[in-house]
């Protein structure tokens, strides 16, 4: 039996609240204390499907430390911590792959009928295995900018750094932060304000591949070190340069540039959120093919 770590917050909600136009009303609010559950499973796709039906929890790709296991056994709450104090979560060898695609322009993408374009994208990336897909709460309508998450398994087990390097490689260019052992992966569908129906009626599904699992490419240590770094797949940008790169100006890269740029200014401005927002917003006005929002800065 394989295992998946599920965290349930003591208070707050791991679900984003949107209005009927799919604009964010409030973000995730998970608090600081959690109950831990190590869920055993036979099928990764089945367990992800089960977790998606819940709106009170999220998953992490790490595993519990001895202290974390003690909290779980005693039904006690604890922090989501990987280093300081008494760590509760640590790195884990596994074969779960989560591709968090939050900055991808996919030709023909339609949030109301996403399977054809997702299938084409997978084929282009030589991924022919079974895949569970999910449209995240950041997705908007009438745009080919996809905000999706893809879940599948690799044939062999790898550490989190290896899986992060694959996901952030120049070919895939997903957000590899999900491979930090304690990073929340919010699987709950969004809540629509005033209990209105979700304009995206179907937010998840399953694509049957020609094989059950995907064989990851062999990565050398220098390649792993390169792509598992803070900056995601693609160019390593000079954030002290005031000139926007060509791929940002033409809209092919957006969040992958502006998110690290926001962190760059956060260090300079000591976390002044409003100042950071204004700077990133001003720079983003030069990119006419993308719509700016706070999700592309520090949210």
Q: What is the DSSP string of 185-196?
A: B--SPPEEGGGP
Q: Residue 234 has which token pair? A: 């693609």
pLDDT confidence band for 298 (50 / 70 / 90): low
pLDDT, tens digit, for every residue of 57-71?
Answer: 999 999 999 999 999
SS (H, E, C) 244-290: CCHHHHCCCCCHHHHHHHHHHHHHHHCCCHHHHHHHHHHHHCCCCCC
- pTM given for the model: 0.89
pLDDT confidence band for 277 (50 / 70 / 90): confident
3-state secondary structure of 220: coil
pLDDT, tens digit, for every residue of 115-132?
Answer: 999 999 999 999 999 999
CA distance 271 to 262: 10
């Amino acid at each position: 039996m394989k295992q998946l770590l599920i965290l349930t917050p003591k208070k707050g909600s791991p679900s984003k609240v949107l209005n009927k136009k799919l604009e964010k009303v409030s973000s995730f609010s998970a608090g600081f204390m959690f109950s831990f559950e190590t869920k055993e499973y036979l099928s990764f796709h089945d367990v992800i499907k089960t977790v998606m039906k819940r709106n009170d929890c999220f998953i992490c790709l790490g595993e519990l430390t001895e202290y974390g296991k003690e909290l779980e056994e005693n039904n006690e709450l604890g922090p989501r911590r990987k280093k300081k104090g008494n760590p509760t979560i640590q790195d884990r060898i596994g074969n779960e792959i989560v591709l968090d695609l939050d900055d991808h322009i996919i030709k023909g993408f339609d949030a109301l009928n996403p399977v054809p374009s997702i299938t084409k994208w997978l084929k282009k990336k030589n991924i022919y295995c079974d895949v569970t897909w999910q449209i995240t709460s950041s997705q908007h309508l009438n745009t080919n900018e996809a905000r999706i998450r893809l879940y599948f398994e690799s044939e062999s087990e790898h550490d989190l750094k290896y899986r992060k390097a694959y996901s952030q490689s120049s070919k895939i260019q997903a957000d590899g932060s999900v491979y930090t052992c304690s990073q929340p992966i919010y699987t709950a569908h969004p809540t629509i304000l005033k209990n209105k129906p979700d304009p995206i009626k179907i937010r998840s599904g399953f694509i049957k591949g020609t094989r059950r699992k995907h064989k990851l490419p062999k990565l050398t240590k220098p390649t792993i070190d390169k792509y598992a770094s803070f900056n995601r797949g693609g160019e390593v940008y000079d954030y002290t340069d005031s000139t926007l790169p060509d791929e940002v100006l033409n809209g092919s890269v957006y969040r992958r540039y502006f998110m690290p740029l926001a962190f760059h200014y956060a260090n300079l401005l000591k976390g002044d959120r409003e100042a950071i927002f204004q700077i990133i917003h001003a720079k983003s006005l030069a990119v006419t093919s993308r719509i700016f929002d706070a999700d592309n800065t520090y949210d």
